[in-house]
Structure 1
């Protein structure tokens, strides 16, 4: 599984639009704390990333642009996601090396 691309303003507006079942154009730029809390939960579920925001950082997110900046940074900091099977990128065992020998 590859991680989704970092969200842009349009993506954040689309996520916010599902809160209250409205169109993205009806989303106001200023965010209330309930709307922001919902957006963070939606983001964490959609991107499989847990945001750990201090109360002080949470309070600085007041607009759609503020939220977009924080959410994009979280995706970029998380890096690409992989499935468990693809997570192990080591080469297959080398039959010429004794068992337990260190890899080069």
Structure 2
């Protein structure tokens, strides 16, 4: 399975623009909680990754740049997925990232394909 390239700011703005049917240029930099919740749902559907954020981490995502950082990290952590017969990268399984998820930016995200069972 091949994953899409990690989203950049332009991709996140394009996703947000579909919320409220507006142009990417009309998207404000500051995100409201409803807009962020919608963005996470859109991201999970588009990238086939379940993003689990603690309430504390969710509350720290205030801007488009914050969201871009978290969403990119989730895609990168999930990796491209091994081809048939290839071993997964260390820490990456067919059901997503093992352990606590994305690290480095304080994120507590667990990238896992949508619908995968939780441990």
Moved more, 74-83 or 24-33: 74-83
Which runs of 4 or more aligned residues in structure 1 lie more than 6 Å from their structure 2 counterparts after TM superposition? 80-91, 99-104
TM-score by length of 2: 0.66
Does the Cα contact within 8 Å between 1:2 and 1:82 map onto a contact in 2? no
Asked if 1:90 is matched to 2:112, the reply is: yes
How far apart are residue 51 of structure 1 and its match?
Answer: 0.4
Structure 1 stretches lacking a partner, 5+ long: 92-98
Distance in 2 separating the partners of 1:21 and 1:100: 28
How far apart are residue 2 of structure 1 and its match?
Answer: 1.0
Structure 2 stretches lacking a partner, 5+ long: 89-108
Distance in 1 separating the partners of 2:37 and 2:116: 50
Cα deviation, 1:5-44, whole Å, max 9, x if unaligned, reads: 0000000000000000000000000000000000000000
Does the Cα contact within 8 Å between 1:44 and 1:51 map onto a contact in 2? yes
2:5 alignment partner, SS class? coil
Higher RCO (CA 8 Å, separation ≥ 6 residues): 1
Greater helix proportion: 1
Distance in 1 separating the partners of 2:115 and 2:53: 43
For the aligned residue pairs, the C-alpha RMSD in angstroms reads: 9.2
Say which one has the larger Rg. Answer: 1
Does the Cα contact within 8 Å between 1:3 and 1:81 map onto a contact in 2? no
TM-score by length of 1: 0.76
Which runs of structure 2 are paired with 1:65-84 in the superposition (5 Å)? 65-78=65-78
